[in-house]
Amino acid sequence: MQGAWANVLITGASSGLGRALAEACARPGAVLHLSGRDGARLEDAADACRARGAEVRPVVVDVCDATAMDRWVAGAGRLDLVIANAGISAGTGGNTEPVEQTRRIFDTNVTGVLNTALPAIEAMAAQPPGADGLRGRVAVIASLAAFVAAPGAPTYCATKAAVQRWAEALDASERRRGIRLHAICPGYVRTPMTARNAFKMPFLMDADEAARRTLDGIARGRTRIAYPLPTYLGARVLGMLPIAARAWIFSRMPAKQADGTI
């Protein structure tokens, strides 16, 4: 059950889950506003979406640049669905997490999401409701890492928890304005970002399948869209363990590598 949104904006659309989401939304009559940091990869993704019949308007923009993001979102026109997907991932590599890495992950994964979602919400509030009775939907890409304070990736887990909680809390009030928010919490997805992980990733899924589950959940009106179920349940159980027990378990697992980005 995937929605047929006419006007879609996606950040981080040049590869991985962002590109898969863009291609899944591409169809005749759809207008896709896509952003990424790599112009060549972004144009390749745009061509793939055009081949499916969509009108595509790609823009190279950094989500950390609030002014540029405000300008891009405001100039897009009507928006039915906005997906704040751009993000980066890195861990400690078994050591202390570098200070600059910590700041960079927070800037991209939290501030970058806000730079996408906040202007989108205000733009949607000023537009008339669509055929579904809503003024628009905003989805933020969090992670199942939001539910586990993993010592090997403290900043990544913290940033994903922040945007997951923010979206779920804000959805309750924004519904009154006809705007829905969705917190997307995937497990391991086969992307350039996860390709760097030097450990076994349980229930690893292709980006196309993750995109399908994401869009199905949005279309069904779910506030939290977490998948796959076994990994989600495992994350919830780990998250409820005493801190010392959780730290002991993770001390016997490989840490996420430092300085990884998408």
* CA-wise closest residue to 49 among 29, 27, 33: 27
Asked if 18 contacts 184 with a C-beta cutoff of 8 angstroms, the reply is no
Q: How many residues does the chain have?
A: 262
Task: For residues 78 and 31, give the distance between their C-alpha atoms in angstroms, rounded to a whole number.
Answer: 10
* CA-wise closest residue to 61 among 97, 102, 10, 105: 10
Q: Which position among 156, 188, 227, 232 bears the catalytic label?
A: 156
Asked if 5 contacts 30 with a C-beta cutoff of 8 angstroms, the reply is yes
Asked if 124 contacts 175 with a C-beta cutoff of 8 angstroms, the reply is no
Q: Answer left, alpha or beta for residue 53, where phi above 0 means left and psi between -120 and 50 means alpha.
A: left
Give me 107's structure tokens.
């800037």
Give me 147's structure tokens.
């539910």
In Å, what is the CA distance from 21 to each residue of 114, 115, 127, 223?
A: 20, 20, 24, 18
Number of helical (H) and strand (E) elements in the chain, helices listed first: 9, 9
Task: For residues 113 and 139, give the distance between their C-alpha atoms in angstroms, rounded to a whole number.
Answer: 10
Annotation marks residue 188 as catalytic = no
Task: For residues 27 and 259, give the distance between their C-alpha atoms in angstroms, rounded to a whole number.
Answer: 36
List residues with catalytic annotation: 156
